[in-house]
Amino acid sequence: MKLPLTSPLGLLVLHLRVRLDRARTSPERGASAVEWVIITAVLLALAGVVGWAIYNFVSEAAEDLEVPELPDGT
């Protein structure tokens, strides 16, 4: 299937083919991928710790709130 290079889909296919060819021919691309996986894992762990800390802070603050009763006793 030939796509015109002036279409967005054609440009996307061309860009993907160039990146794939570059990854196949460069011997150092595998190490770069492993580095990105490690960096991503560290950032995900950091985001999890920050999210856990925020959740605990908000939960503790919510427990300290006083909820007023409605006039009908509920």
Confirm if 9 and 17 have CB atoms less than 8 A apart: no
What average pLDDT does the segment 8-21 reach? Answer: 82
Model-wide pTM > 0.85: no
Model pLDDT for residues 51-68, shown as the tens digit of each residue: 999 999 999 999 888 888
**Alpha carbon distance 20, 13 (integer Å):** 10
3-class SS letters over the chain? CCCCCCCHHHHHHHHHHHHHHHHHHCCCHHHHHHHHHHHHHHHHHHHHHHHHHHHHHHHHHHHCCCCCCCCCCC
- pLDDT given at position 43: 95
Domain ranges for the chain: 8-63
> Which segment, 3-7, 18-22, 41-45, is predicted with the most confidence on average?
41-45
